[in-house]
Amino acid sequence: MSTGIGNGVAIPHGKARAVDRMLAACAVSHAGVDFESADGERAHIFILLVSPETVGATHVKVLANISRLLKEESVRRSPAGRPNPDRASGGTQSRRVPVPHDGLEIIKVF
C-alpha cells in the first residue's frame, strides 16, 4: 500500500529502533515523483515521519493530523503551507540537501 495520499502529497512513515524521539522531514520535488498515489498523480510534497518503536497512538495521531492538514488545497497552495528553509524556527535544523537522481530536495528537518 502506498503512502501517497493524493493531491501531490506523500507521507512515508515508519518506526525505528535507531530513533529516541519522533522525527519529521519535509521535502519537495518540483518535477514530482511517481509514488503510486490513489489518484495516480505524482507526489510533489513529502513529509517523512519516523517514530521510536515504543510510540503507539501518538504516531498515528500525528500522521492523521498531517494528512488532514495537507488534504486542504488552501494549505498546499499557500506560501505558509509550502516548506521553506528560510522560515526555520529555533530548535530546528534547516538545510537543503539535493538528491540529484530524482530531483527531490530535503528542505527542513524537525
Q: What is the DSSP string of 16-85?
A: ETT-SS-EEEEEEEEEEE----TT-PPEEEEEEEEEETT--HHHHHHHHHHHHHHT-HHHHHSGGGS--G
Q: Which of 13, 30, 44, 101 is catalytic?
A: 13
44 is catalytic: no
Q: How far, in Å, CA of 110 to CA of 94, rounded?
A: 8
Catalytic residues: 13
